[in-house]
Amino acid sequence: MAAILIVPGLHDSGPDHWQTWFEHRLGDTRRVDQADWENPCLAGWAARVGEVIAAESEAVWIVAHSFGCLAAVRAGHLWPGRVRAALLVAPADPDRFGLAALLPQERLRFPSMIVASNDDPWLRAAVAQRWAGAWGSSYRNIGSAGHINVDSGHGPWPQGLAFFEELRRAALAPQL
């Protein structure tokens, strides 16, 4: 079975975060550790995601959150054919970090799903939907759910796991 890369955002995802819950629920996961969790750097973080992708013997699944979504998209763009699909939950706004020009502006070369909320302080829903359109990602807005992290009540998150399974089924379905 292909590895599932857990790609956290700023400050990592602690023991009560849904990404950690995913790690315990799903088999064959690898958390991508960054050198500095307090200072997001797209080039460095994407390079680290790329290193983990390259170390795997087959294409990987990605489950990313916040700034980790930006790093995962950048790495996936640089490693074509090595990402099966990516679940991108509550991405950070690339414009907030001055990084929009460094991200792909076209359809990603792997299936993806963006999960966003109406009241995320890090990314407005309309901006998330615009990036989903640019990247060819399916889009799920889960209402008023904040940044979809522990602070907004998302420790164990069965709905997120269902989104990941939906994405995996779609990615594995025969293409007509």
Query: What CATH number corresponds to the domain at position 70?
Result: 3.40.50.1820
Query: Do residues 38 and 11 make contact, with C-beta atoms less than 8 angstroms apart?
Result: yes
Q: Residue 143 is which amino acid?
A: G
Query: Do residues 84 and 173 make contact, with C-beta atoms less than 8 angstroms apart?
Result: no
Q: What are phi and psi of 60, to 5 degrees?
A: -110, 160
pLDDT at 16: 96
Burial class (CB in 10 A: 0-12, 13-18, 19+), 156: middle
Query: b vs e for 108-133, b when ≥16 Cβ sit within 10 Å of the residue's Cβ?
Result: bbbbbbbbbbeebebbebebbeebbe
Report if pTM > 0.75: yes
- In order along its 176 residues, the chain shows pLDDT tens digits of 699 999 999 999 999 999 999 999 998 999 999 999 999 999 999 999 999 999 999 999 999 999 999 999 999 999 989 999 999 999 999 999 999 999 999 999 999 999 999 999 999 999 999 999 999 999 999 999 999 999 998 999 999 999 999 999 999 988 76
Q: Which domain holds residue 8?
A: 4-172
Number of domains in the chain: 1
Query: Using CA atoms, how far apart are residues 6 and 144, in angstroms rounded to an integer?
Result: 24
pLDDT digits (tens, 9 = 90+) for 134-172: 999 999 999 999 999 999 989 999 999 999 999 999 999
pLDDT at 34: 98
Q: What are phi and psi of 4, to 5 degrees?
A: -110, 120
Q: How far is CA 168 from CA 89, 113, 137, in A?
A: 15, 10, 13
Q: Which two tokens stand for residue 155?
A: 């420790």
* Percent residues over pLDDT 70 in the chain: 99
